[in-house]
A and B are shown apart, each in its own frame.
Chain A
Amino acid sequence: MTPLLGLAARSAWNRRFVLALVVASIALSTFLLLGIERIRQDVRASFSQAVSGTDLIVGARTGSVQLLLYSVFRIGQATQNMRYASAQALAGHRAVAWMVPLSLGDSHRGFPVLGTSAAYFAHFRHGNRQSLSLSQGRAFGAPGLFEVVLGAEVARRLGYALGQPVVISHGDGALTANDHADKPFTVVGVLAPTGTPVDRTVHISLESMEAIHLDWVAGVPLPGLKVPADQVTQHDLAPRQITAVMLGLKSRAAVFSVQRDIQSWRDEPLMAILPGVALDELWDVVGLGERALLAISALVAVVSAAGLVAVVLAGLDARRRELAILRAVGASPRHMLALLALEGGWVTLAGVGTGAVLHTVALALLAPWAQQHFGLVLNAGAALATQWGLIGALLAGGFLASLVPGWRAYRLSLADGLSPRT
């Protein structure tokens, strides 16, 4: 091998333009594979970080994934509500430490509105058990009428600051007639970014939620009944129905017994889910897409390995003279195999190395942007174990692929001997 090391390098340098194209193609496929793997892992991480520290999520009977989707990710609608009385009873359960009520259904300019209590700001956790913090203003008080706290992305996208008047739309806001325009809200606080659905949520108190629906029955404004904003306090603003409840337990060990208690709730049919378990179920569904992405990028890698083989093979005929010269000075056909394999190995190494560096640089540059625009936290730190695996597979694949032209060179130099048929 030693007589070949320098030769392979010089020979490759002599054909650097074509080989640079191969290196670029391998670099791009490496970049793609590593990038997709990184995004896949980090999307999964931020997905699973949408809620933490909550032991149970309780709602009316439905599918566990549905309950998770609308209570945590604000996706879809609840088909049924639960009574607020049940929520209060749950809060008084001996094993329950805290209860956060969630009332969904309205929106503001496409962002979901969440009716909740002050307990939300105290107990809701995301990521690695991080609590919510305000970047501006304050949380709404109790009852906090017509006060709104915005998620970071809502404030940024709509350009809202403290004091901004906000009109809540009924439902998804498709009909302007359904706006709660008679009872405008005021922004009192903006939350710091979390990289979770909280960033896209408009928070109001349960009492406010009740107040804007005082003069509504069955989802439409009641004709002839108008309750002006300044008179709502004369009415009973205690909520009657909510969508779901987040529970924190005094001890995690009690989670299954509390879950059983809730499943057999006497007053109404309820269900309780463990967020982690439901997240895993959800990921099984979403995971299909990411596996398809990974498969596609693996195919891209195979294509660029095929490109390496094609380019080196195509160039081989022009190198038959070179092989004959080497044979004449005492190189064996096995040297030819090694020469070509060495070249393929270096080209692969250069390509994969370039791709990995590109990936690291792109990650460092794009991480803040991805966080700001998609709420996706990309970890620009050390490579993941799976990424090392991919790098290893790419190197091995490229080297194996370069054995193909190596084998052809072996055969050619055996057949040609000292008189290349060019």
Chain B
Amino acid sequence: MTAAVQVRALRHTWPGASTPTLIIDALDVDAGQTLFLRGPSGSGKSTLLALLAGVLVADGGDGEVRLLDASWRAMSAAQRDRHRADHLGYIFQQFNLLPYLSVIDNVRLPCRFSARRRQRAGSGAAERLLERMGMDASLWHRAAGVLSVGQQQRVAAARALIGAPEVVLADEPTSALDEDLRDAFMTLLLERCAEAGSALVFVSHDARLAPRFSRRVDLTTLNAAATVAA
């Protein structure tokens, strides 16, 4: 089984910056693994997520990021977009949904851009996922904008998971939730990832969530650049 994510000798310097934002020698995430990346703001987590998602490509050196054994660097921009649509789910901190689409259409959004996800999802997948995320059927056809923050994050998780992508990236998805909602959300997210067989890379500064994951890494130790800066 190939690794879901492989990072090797990664260095990234933003244009105009004198020192690298990110230096990671190696990071591997196995298929189906759940990884808790603990990182306070300023630890380069946004940069790392962008690099993992292939929206950003490392600027130089021979370091690389591979998703399902395919190197982002080796792909053209169009190939990266297709690869991301086919194999990656992404959950933002908040404001995950397009307010003008209904809840169910937001969940189906990745299927618009990926035939593979559409086929893997089959019919009724969005409904099943929403149900499993505890979303009442009466909300499915409402505009996404009217949902509470907790509901929005659950819809976002359903969207990230539709068509069972191999990797789900989550950027502090619980930071806007209070404790009860957070725990419920984490349970649902981890259950669904397990069901779909998706590896989860979860970035957060909230150490209380860490015990729920199969593996924990501290970004400040992982990122050599952060250590230097600190």
Inter-subunit contact B50/A329 (CB<8 Å): no
CB distance from B149 to the nearest CB of A (A): 15
What is the total of A-B residue contacts with beta carbons within 8 Å? 70
Q: Select which of A13, A324, A326, A332 is within 8 A of B78 by beta carbon.
A: A332
Inter-subunit contact A325/B96 (CB<8 Å): yes
Q: Select which of A10, A335, A418 is within 8 A of B50 by beta carbon.
A: A418
Inter-subunit contact A329/B85 (CB<8 Å): yes
Complex: A169 Cα to B140 Cα, angstroms: 85
Inter-subunit contact B100/A329 (CB<8 Å): no
A331 within 8 A of B: yes
A321 within 8 A of B: yes
Which residue on A lies nearest to B102, using beta carbons?
A10
Inter-subunit contact A13/B92 (CB<8 Å): no
Complex: A330 Cα to B46 Cα, angstroms: 18
Interface string of A384-422 (1 = CB under 8 A from B): 000000000000000000000000000000000111000
Inter-subunit contact B100/A11 (CB<8 Å): yes
* Chain B residues in the interface with A (C-beta under 8 A): 46, 49-50, 53, 55-56, 77-78, 81-82, 84-86, 88, 90, 92, 95-101, 105, 109-110, 112-114, 159, 171
Interface of chain A, main secondary structure:
helix
| Known contacts A418-B50, A418-B55, A419-B50: A331-B113 contact under CB 8 Å | yes
Q: Select which of A3, A330, A417 is within 8 A of B56 by beta carbon.
A: A417
Q: Which residues of A (324-365) have their CB < 8 Å from a CB of B?
A: 324-335
A268 within 8 A of B: no
Q: Which residues of A (2-52) have their CB < 8 Å from a CB of B?
A: 3, 7, 10-11, 13-14
Size range of the interface on A?
20 to 34
List A contacts of B97 (CB < 8 A). Answer: 325
Please name the 3 residue pairs, one residue from A and one from B, whose CB atoms are nearest each other, closest first.
A330-B85, A14-B100, A3-B112
Inter-subunit contact B112/A7 (CB<8 Å): yes
A322 within 8 A of B: yes
Inter-subunit contact A328/B99 (CB<8 Å): no
| Known contacts A322-B98, A417-B50: A327-B55 contact under CB 8 Å | yes
Inter-subunit contact B92/A328 (CB<8 Å): yes
Inter-subunit contact A325/B92 (CB<8 Å): yes
CB distance from A111 to the nearest CB of B (A): 64
CB distance from A174 to the nearest CB of B (A): 70
Complex: A388 Cα to B101 Cα, angstroms: 37
List B contacts of A13 (CB < 8 A). Answer: 100
CB distance from B223 to the nearest CB of A (A): 17
A–B complex contacts, Cβ < 8 Å, 15 sampled: A11-B98, A13-B100, A322-B98, A325-B92, A325-B95, A325-B96, A325-B98, A326-B109, A327-B55, A328-B84, A329-B109, A330-B86, A332-B81, A418-B46, A418-B90
Which residue on B lies nearest to A332, using beta carbons?
B81
CB distance from A331 to the nearest CB of B (A): 6
List A contacts of B78 (CB < 8 A). Answer: 332, 334
List B contacts of A321 (CB < 8 A). Answer: 95
CB distance from B188 to the nearest CB of A (A): 20
Complex: A417 Cα to B113 Cα, angstroms: 17
Inter-subunit contact B110/A329 (CB<8 Å): yes
List A contacts of B114 (CB < 8 A). Answer: 330
CB distance from A419 to the nearest CB of B (A): 5
CB distance from B35 to the nearest CB of A (A): 18
Complex: A419 Cα to B100 Cα, angstroms: 20
Complex: A87 Cα to B78 Cα, angstroms: 85
List B contacts of A332 (CB < 8 A). Answer: 77-78, 81
List A contacts of B86 (CB < 8 A). Answer: 330
Inter-subunit contact A419/B109 (CB<8 Å): no
List B contacts of A322 (CB < 8 A). Answer: 98
CB distance from B84 to the nearest CB of A (A): 5
List A contacts of B55 (CB < 8 A). Answer: 327, 417-418
Beyond known contacts A330-B85, A330-B88, A417-B53: 15 more, CB 8 A cutoff: A7-B112, A14-B100, A326-B109, A328-B90, A329-B90, A329-B112, A330-B84, A331-B85, A335-B81, A335-B113, A418-B46, A418-B50, A418-B53, A418-B55, A419-B50
| Known contacts A417-B50, A417-B55: A3-B113 contact under CB 8 Å | yes
